[in-house]
């Protein structure tokens, strides 16, 4: 841990003062986001205490949702591009349903424009993509929005009557997802060497209906 220690002094009247080194300004946090680090730390601690879950932090660069899902499903967040591709393929296959939720008045010309945008790396995914991925993998999704009680994503379009564990992700700052790792996470992941094969089999079966 390379974080500097807290340095304080106390006088004879039990009054405390801050002891500042010459490079003190290099070690301070950003004042405008005061409380964010503390809230995140408290959330991590609560998840550990209540469920023995760890939070796997992923890059905050627009790919975070797909990174979190790739880590949940395959144990490897570097596979996020494949998660994105298969998610969009699934949404395209069910365009009649998913297109209803796209803002074509202000942001997108049509659903095809939305999908082309979403297929681009570093494009933020959100609730629509979570629903699509939940349906594709037939697994409910637990979203922990910095609280230990999750929001559950389910869909009326698929049957969740299986023994598959839920996909668990955390959500913070209004736009960032991380992977929530259970103690038995490694026992539940798919073979990363076969990434895309399961997805293609599902998509192929659905397209032939």
Give catalytic residues, as residue numbers: 61, 64, 176
Q: Is 139 exposed, middle or buried (0-12, 13-18, 19+ CB in 10 A)?
A: buried
CA distances from 73 to 117, 167, 168 (A): 24, 8, 10
Q: How many CA atoms lie within 13 A of 141 on its CB side?
A: 28
Cα 194 off chain centre by: 22
| 194 Cβ neighbours under 8 A, 6+ residues apart | none
Q: Confirm if 77 and 67 have CB atoms less than 8 A apart.
A: yes
Q: Confirm if 41 and 3 have CB atoms less than 8 A apart.
A: no
Q: Confirm if 56 and 181 have CB atoms less than 8 A apart.
A: yes
Residue 50 φ then ψ, to 5° = -80, -40
């Amino acid at each position: 841990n390379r974080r500097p220690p807290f340095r304080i002094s106390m006088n004879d009247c039990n009054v405390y003062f801050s002891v500042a080194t010459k490079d003190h300004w290099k070690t301070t946090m950003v004042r405008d986001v005061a409380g964010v680090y503390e809230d995140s730390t408290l959330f991590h601690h609560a998840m550990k205490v209540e469920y023995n879950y760890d939070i796997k932090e992923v890059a905050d660069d627009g790919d975070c949702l797909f990174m979190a899902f790739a880590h949940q499903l395959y144990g490897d967040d570097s596979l996020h591009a494949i998660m994105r591709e298969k998610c969009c393929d699934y949404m395209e296959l069910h365009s009649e349903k998913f297109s209803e939720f796209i803002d074509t008045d202000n942001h997108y010309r049509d659903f095809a424009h939305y999908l082309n945008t979403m297929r681009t790396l570093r494009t933020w995914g959100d609730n629509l993509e979570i629903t699509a991925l939940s349906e594709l993998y037939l697994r409910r999704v637990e979203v922990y929005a910095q609280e230990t009680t999750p929001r559950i994503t389910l869909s009326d379009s698929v049957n969740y009557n299986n023994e598959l564990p839920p996909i668990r992700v955390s959500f913070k700052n209004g736009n960032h997802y991380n992977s929530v790792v259970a103690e038995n996470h490694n026992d539940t992941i798919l073979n990363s060497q076969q990434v895309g094969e399961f997805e293609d089999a599902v998509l192929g079966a659905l397209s032939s209906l």
